[in-house]
Amino acid sequence: MLKTYTTTSGDMWDLIALRTLGSELFKHVLMQANLKHIHIYIFPANITLVIPETETKRPPNLPPWKRGKPK
Protein backbone atom coordinates (compact mmCIF):
# COMPACT_ATOMS: atom_id res chain seq x y z
CA MET A 1 0.00 0.00 0.00
CA LEU A 2 1.26 3.46 -0.91
CA LYS A 3 2.13 5.61 2.10
CA THR A 4 1.58 9.36 1.94
CA TYR A 5 2.15 12.38 4.14
CA THR A 6 0.13 15.59 4.05
CA THR A 7 2.19 18.63 4.91
CA THR A 8 1.43 21.28 7.46
CA SER A 9 2.49 24.86 6.94
CA GLY A 10 6.21 25.24 7.65
CA ASP A 11 7.22 21.61 7.03
CA MET A 12 10.62 21.13 5.39
CA TRP A 13 12.15 18.09 3.67
CA ASP A 14 14.40 17.12 6.57
CA LEU A 15 11.63 17.36 9.15
CA ILE A 16 9.28 15.27 7.00
CA ALA A 17 12.02 12.66 6.50
CA LEU A 18 12.60 12.53 10.25
CA ARG A 19 8.90 12.11 11.01
CA THR A 20 8.13 9.56 8.31
CA LEU A 21 11.37 7.67 7.70
CA GLY A 22 13.09 7.98 11.07
CA SER A 23 15.98 10.28 10.13
CA GLU A 24 16.56 13.57 8.36
CA LEU A 25 19.36 11.82 6.48
CA PHE A 26 16.68 10.16 4.33
CA LYS A 27 15.56 13.51 2.89
CA HIS A 28 17.24 12.80 -0.45
CA VAL A 29 15.20 9.57 -0.75
CA LEU A 30 12.03 11.49 0.04
CA MET A 31 12.90 14.21 -2.46
CA GLN A 32 13.58 11.67 -5.23
CA ALA A 33 10.14 10.15 -4.68
CA ASN A 34 8.48 13.58 -4.97
CA LEU A 35 10.26 15.33 -7.82
CA LYS A 36 7.27 17.47 -8.77
CA HIS A 37 7.66 19.26 -5.42
CA ILE A 38 11.45 19.50 -5.49
CA HIS A 39 11.33 23.29 -5.90
CA ILE A 40 9.60 23.75 -2.53
CA TYR A 41 11.84 24.50 0.44
CA ILE A 42 9.24 25.36 3.08
CA PHE A 43 5.92 23.65 2.42
CA PRO A 44 2.48 25.18 2.66
CA ALA A 45 -0.28 23.09 4.20
CA ASN A 46 -2.04 20.24 2.39
CA ILE A 47 0.60 19.05 -0.08
CA THR A 48 0.47 15.25 -0.36
CA LEU A 49 3.87 13.57 -0.60
CA VAL A 50 4.65 9.94 -1.36
CA ILE A 51 6.65 8.21 1.38
CA PRO A 52 8.95 5.65 -0.24
CA GLU A 53 9.89 2.32 1.23
CA THR A 54 13.48 2.20 2.45
CA GLU A 55 15.63 -0.90 2.52
CA THR A 56 16.77 -0.12 6.02
CA LYS A 57 15.59 2.05 8.85
CA ARG A 58 19.15 3.19 9.47
CA PRO A 59 20.19 6.29 7.56
CA PRO A 60 22.85 5.89 4.88
CA ASN A 61 26.45 6.95 5.41
CA LEU A 62 26.52 6.78 9.18
CA PRO A 63 29.95 6.76 10.76
CA PRO A 64 31.09 3.27 11.86
CA TRP A 65 30.45 3.87 15.57
CA LYS A 66 26.76 4.67 14.85
CA ARG A 67 26.01 1.85 12.41
CA GLY A 68 25.45 -0.92 14.91
CA LYS A 69 24.69 -4.46 13.86
CA PRO A 70 22.08 -5.15 11.16
CA LYS A 71 18.83 -6.60 12.42
What is the structure's pLDDT at 71? 47
Residue spans of the domains in the chain: they are 3-52
What is the structure's pLDDT at 68? 59
DSSP, residue by residue, the chain: --EEEE--TT-BHHHHHHHHHS-GGGHHHHHHTTGGGTT-SB--TT-EEEE---S-SSPTT--HHHH----
pTM (2 d.p.)? 0.76
Give tens-digit pLDDT for 12-47: 999 999 999 988 989 999 999 999 999 999 999 999
